Amino acid sequence: MKALTMYRPFTVENALSDFDRCLESFFGDSVLAPADRIFNHLPAVDVQEKEDAYLLEAELPGYEEKDIQIHLDGRTLSIESRQEEEKEEKGKDKDAKTGSYLIRERRASSFSRSFKLPENADPAQVSASFKNGVLSMGIKKRSESQKRLIPINAG
């Protein structure tokens, strides 16, 4: 059972969702998901469940901490970045030393990924850190949902 799931709002683009769910139920995860993630330039994310928390790690090479925003709306956790491409103004004199682009494939990019938090996650206990292009997030579980030892009274 998956505790933390991808949030997929209903859109026209999700017309193959029944087929996707069929593949997901057969293979465990959709075989389309990795290709979908790569073609849409979405960061790779690992989610790990521990006894008292969920750990989420996203690979964000080339991004800086100031470029990333994390939002929590109810039980929906969103990670996004909106980097605007600098537009060149036409008719403006350019420095002859810098030149203009003939081919430009390395542009700033934007992304947005959302996850639905499980019922036992505590939305008030979410922490995040960013180091070496990896965003690490800790999502604590509610204390009442954690495993605990019940003492047995001898009587």
Most confident of 19-28, 86-95, 115-124: 115-124
Question: Which pLDDT value is given to residue 27?
Answer: 42
Q: Are residues 24 and 51 in the same domain?
A: no
> Is 99 within a domain?
no
The domain total for the chain is 2
> Is 131 within a domain?
yes
Domain boundaries, position 30: 8-40
Question: Which pLDDT value is given to residue 126?
Answer: 94
List the CATH number of the domain containing 140: 2.60.40.790
Question: Which pLDDT value is given to residue 43?
Answer: 86
> Is 67 within a domain?
yes
Sole residue written with tokens 């491409």:
85
What would the 3-class secondary structure string for 11-31 be?
CHHHCCHHHHHHHHHHHCCCC
Strand partners, 131: 134
Of 127 and 91, the structure prediction assigns the larger pLDDT to 127
- pLDDT confidence bin for 140, thresholds 50/70/90: very high
Question: Which pLDDT value is given to residue 63?
Answer: 87
- pLDDT confidence bin for 131, thresholds 50/70/90: very high
Q: Are residues 119 and 67 in the same domain?
A: yes
DSSP 8-state secondary structure symbol assigned to residue 39:
H
